């Protein structure tokens, strides 16, 4: 049966065709309120939106089948990311499809602001000739402060250079080498505020960037500064901006985005120094097609279980990285599952060490897979690579990662130690061949176990006859032993016995085994 996808905002037909050509059952239902969306979202595996649809926690709670939300555009502030992550739903966007469109609109706003073009146009339309009134300023040799130098900010910088502007930029994630390539001087926000003739913002809207520029920031700016926002409403405090314009501190502003769209009671409305456009940054024919195709392709890949880009609530895996990590992801997940089943009591912390060739790879996805395995027992199937880290944090599980040199006996090794109020447990796994997963240590004892099926893990004192008594008891109860591994440090000391069995044991049988002399603990593991 074909998977179903709901398109709840207007989307270019080219994007819809990508979905349909992939064999998906596509419904286009736009203009839905929260109640209407919540009532039907449970029928769909995928959801494609733009900026109008509000994907609230209530909607996500009703989305029992939903695997992927695709935003045809950049900003995802209309999606409750925390709720989506908690429910294991991937949220994708299309960050590059409208990059050029938004950068060009930003430049158009800068030019219109500098030369008073909308105001002069209106004056002419009304029959007036007011050349002196609308004398503007040049961009050449002016300082442009760019806050946020991602895709759009970088493209704005390239175009501003062509106008002879001097560029200061703030972006804590931008490497100095990249800044040099773009001909940009990196600066802190305070430097930008104090020295810029024009300021444009290109950051996402987050708790840290909300009201990034407010009353205090306007007070530190140069007199007659000009402000542009084609990023997100809420980054600039528009009440404070309106006041700064009225006081003459800010010579003008050009605004394309608003906290509420369409805006209500906008304080900037009616100010002749302010240019307002109705969120036109991505409104070109080319951008509409590009973002629709981009998000549709990625949504298809996600629903097909293939690698995808541009996930905003998880670390996406590049194709080349996935080919390296894929077998280790399986190993990590199985180690996590086994660790959870061996542990007594709720796990409080996890220590994981990557050794050998693994120490040279990107380990974050492996740790996520490990946590997925650990949490699958209490949470069930809804735990995946999207929400594993979130759920671990929610449960208060502390995670410590480390890298080590190549172990003596293995080319690669993942060692895991779990800690709970009732003690600590250790195990380790390795990859013997491209896809031969092995558990090679349990509680510090060396073993060689293929982690698949039903297991008995028995800690015992190493004396003659213990293994035989366990085997006899299981035989009497009709339980077949497929394989057996025994690990010990010394003759007559403590040891671990791992039995692969063909069926799940009852609590009564486990209790019988536990009563055998010199057996210290009995646990079952199902993988």
Q: For residue range 409-466, what is the model confidence (pLDDT) as tens digits?
A: 788 999 999 998 888 999 999 988 777 899 999 988 889 999 999 999 998 888 889 9
Stretch 34-44: mean pLDDT, rounded?
A: 96
pLDDT given for residue 490 in this prediction? 76
Q: CB count, 10 Å around CB of 74?
A: 25
CATH of domain 453-527: 3.30.70.260
pLDDT recorded at residue 405: 81
Pick from 91-95, 155-159, 378-382, 434-438: least confident: 378-382
The CATH code of domain 4-95+287-303 reads 3.40.50.720
Question: How do residues 221-240 score in pLDDT, each as one tens digit?
Answer: 999 999 999 999 999 999 99
Beta strand segments in 239-360, E: 250-255, 274-276, 347-356
**Residues 487-511: what's their mean pLDDT?**
86
Residues 55-70: pLDDT tens digits? 999 999 999 999 999 9
Specify the pLDDT at position 362.
84
CATH topology of domain 317-443: 60s Ribosomal Protein L30; Chain: A; (3.30.1330)
The yes-or-no verdict on residue 172 having pLDDT over 80 is no
Q: Quick one: pLDDT at residue 174? A: 73
- pLDDT tier for residue 394 given thresholds of 50, 70 and 90: confident
| pLDDT per position as a tens digit, 303-359 | 987 777 788 887 666 666 667 788 888 899 999 999 999 988 788 899 999 998 888
Range with the poorest average pLDDT among 7-11, 154-158, 302-306, 440-444: 302-306
Strand pairing class (347-356; 412-420): antiparallel
Cα separation, 17 vs 463, whole angstroms = 70
3-state SS assignment for residue 414: strand
Please determine, for residue 39, whether its predicted confidence score (pLDDT) is greater than 60. Answer: yes
Say what the pTM is. Answer: 0.63
Return d(Cα 400, Cα 515) in angstroms, integer.
37
Domain assignments of the chain as residue spans, ordered by start? 4-95+287-303, 99-276, 317-443, 453-527
pLDDT (0 to 100) of residue 506: 87
Angle between helices 13-21 and 285-303 (to 10 degrees): 20
Residue 73 has pLDDT above 80, yes or no: yes
Mean pLDDT computed over every residue of the chain: 90
Rounded CA separation 360/156 (Å): 36
Band (38; pLDDT cuts 50, 70, 90): very high
Residue count (the chain): 527
477 contacts 371 by C-beta, under 8 angstroms: no
Question: ∠439-444-446 over CA atoms, to 5°?
Answer: 50
Q: How far is CA 175 from the centre of its chain?
A: 21
Task: Kindly state the helix (H) or strand (E) to which residue 439 belongs, with its residue range.
Answer: strand 437-442
Tell me the backbone φ, ψ of residue 428, rounded to 5 degrees. -145, 150
Give the mean model confidence (pLDDT) for residues 118-122.
96
Sheet arrangement for strand 398-404:
398-404, 347-356, 412-420, 423-431, 437-442, 445-449
Q: What is the pLDDT of residue 320?
A: 64
pLDDT digits (tens, 9 = 90+) for 240-291: 999 999 999 999 999 999 998 899 999 999 999 999 999 999 889 999 999 9
Q: Which helix (H) or strand (E) holds 391?
A: helix 388-394
Query: Distance (Å, rounded) from C-alpha 236 to C-alpha 2?
Result: 45
Q: Is the pLDDT of residue 492 over 80?
A: no
Cα separation, 341 vs 498, in Å, equals 14
pLDDT tops 60 at residue 298: yes
Q: CA–CA separation, 168 vs 192, rounded Å?
A: 7
Q: How far apart are CA 297 and CA 289, in angstroms?
A: 12
Closest CA to 4 of 49, 76, 57, 68: 68
Assigned CATH topology for domain 99-276: Rossmann fold (3.40.50)
User: Which pLDDT score is estimated for 223?
Assistant: 96
Cβ 307 vs Cβ 297: under 8 Å: no
Kindly report whether the peptide bond that precedes residue 262 is cis, defined as omega within 30 degrees of 0.
Answer: yes
Following DSSP, what letter does each residue of 470-508 receive, concatenated? HHHHHHHTTPPEEEEEEEESSTTSEEEEEEEESSPPPHH
Over 80: is that where the pLDDT of 4 sits? yes
Token pair of 246 as six digits: 């009225």
Per-residue pLDDT at 316: 61
Query: If you ran DSSP here, which 8-state letter would residue 405 be given?
Result: P
Per-residue tokens: 206: 């987050």
Identical fold, 4-95+287-303 and 99-276: yes
For residue 92, the cross-strand partners are: 70, 311
**Structure-derived torsion over alpha carbons of residues 246, 248, 250, 255, reported in degrees to the nearest 10:** 30
Query: Rounded to whole angstroms, how far apart are CA atoms 425 and 317?
Result: 30
Listed in order, strand segments (DSSP E) in 86-170 are 90-93, 143-147, 166-170
Helices (H), 130-237: 151-162, 176-181, 189-195, 215-220
The answer to whether the CB of 20 falls within 8 A of the CB of 11 is no
Q: For residue 237, give both structure tokens.
A: 């405090």
Q: What percent of the chain is predicted at pLDDT more than 90?
A: 62
| Longest Cα separation, the chain | 108
The reported pLDDT for the residue numbered 141 is 97
pLDDT of residue 173: 65
Catalytic machinery residues: 232, 261, 279
Specify the DSSP class assigned to residue 357.
Answer: G
Q: Give whole-number Cα distances, 481 to 11, 207, 371, 510, 520, in Å.
A: 58, 57, 30, 15, 20
Instruction: Give tens-digit pLDDT for 19-32.
Output: 999 999 999 999 99
Collapse the DSSP code of 461 into the 3-class scheme (helix H, G, I; strand E, B; otherwise coil) and give the result.
strand
Pairing of strands 412-420, 398-404: unpaired
């Amino acid at each position: 049966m074909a998977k179903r996808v709901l398109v709840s905002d207007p989307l270019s037909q080219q994007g819809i065709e990508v979905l349909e050509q992939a064999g998906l059952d596509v419904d286009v239902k736009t203009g839905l309120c929260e109640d209407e969306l919540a009532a039907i979202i449970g029928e769909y595996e995928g959801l494609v939106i733009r900026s109008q649809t509000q994907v609230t926690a209530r909607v996500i709670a009703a989305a029992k089948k939903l695997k992927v939300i695709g935003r045809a555009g950049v900003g995802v502030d209309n999606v409750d990311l925390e709720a989506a992550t908690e429910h294991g739903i991937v949220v994708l966007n299309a960050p590059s499809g409208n990059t050029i469109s938004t950068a060009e609109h930003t430049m158009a706003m800068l030019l219109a602001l500098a030369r008073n073009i909308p105001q002069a146009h209106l004056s002419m339309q009304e029959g007036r000739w007011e050349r002196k009134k609308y004398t503007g300023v040049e961009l050449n040799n002016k300082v442009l402060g760019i806050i946020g130098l991602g895709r759009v900010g970088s493209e704005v910088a390239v175009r501003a250079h062509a106008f002879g502007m001097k560029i200061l930029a703030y972006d804590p994630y931008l490497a100095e080498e990249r800044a040099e390539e773009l001909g940009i001087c990196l600066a802190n926000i305070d430097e930008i505020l104090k020295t810029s003739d024009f300021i444009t913002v290109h950051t996402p809207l987050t708790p840290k960037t909300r009201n990034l520029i407010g009353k205090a920031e306007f007070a530190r700016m140069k007199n007659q500064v000009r402000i542009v926002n084609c990023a997100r409403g809420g980054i600039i405090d528009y009440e404070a901006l309106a006041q700064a314009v009225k006081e003459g501190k800010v010579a003008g502003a050009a605004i394309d985005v608003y906290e509420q769209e369409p805006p209500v009671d906008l304080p900037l409305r009616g100010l002749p120094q302010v240019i307002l456009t109705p969120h036109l940054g991505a409104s070109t024919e080319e951008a509409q097609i590009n973002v629709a195709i981009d998000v549709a392709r990625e949504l298809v890949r996600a629903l097909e279980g293939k690698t995808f880009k541009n996930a905003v609530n998880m670390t996406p895996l590049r194709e080349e990285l996935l080919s390296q990590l894929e077998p280790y992801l399986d190993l990590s997940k199985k180690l996590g599952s086994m660790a959870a089943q061996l542990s007594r009591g709720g796990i409080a912390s996890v220590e994981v060490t990557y050794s050998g060739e693994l120490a040279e790879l990107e380990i974050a996805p492996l740790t996520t897979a490990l946590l997925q395995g650990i949490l699958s027992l209490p949470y069930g199937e809804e735990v995946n690579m999207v929400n594993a880290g979130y759920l671990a944090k929610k449960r208060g599980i502390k995670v410590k990662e480390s890298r080590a040199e190549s172990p003596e006996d293995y080319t690669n090794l993942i060692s895991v130690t779990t800690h709970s109020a009732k003690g600590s447990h250790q195990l380790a796994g390795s990859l013997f061949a491209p896809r031969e997963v092995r558990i090679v240590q349990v509680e510090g004892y060396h073993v060689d176990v293929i982690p698949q099926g039903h297991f008995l893990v028995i800690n015992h004192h190493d004396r003659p006859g213990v293994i035989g008594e366990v085997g006899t008891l299981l035989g009497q109860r009709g339980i077949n032993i497929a394989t057996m591994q025994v690990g010990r440090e010394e003759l007559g000391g403590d040891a671990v016995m791992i039995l692969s069995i063909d069926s799940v044991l009852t609590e009564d049988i486990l209790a019988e085994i536990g009563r055998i002399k010199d057996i210290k603990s009995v646990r079952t593991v199902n993988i």
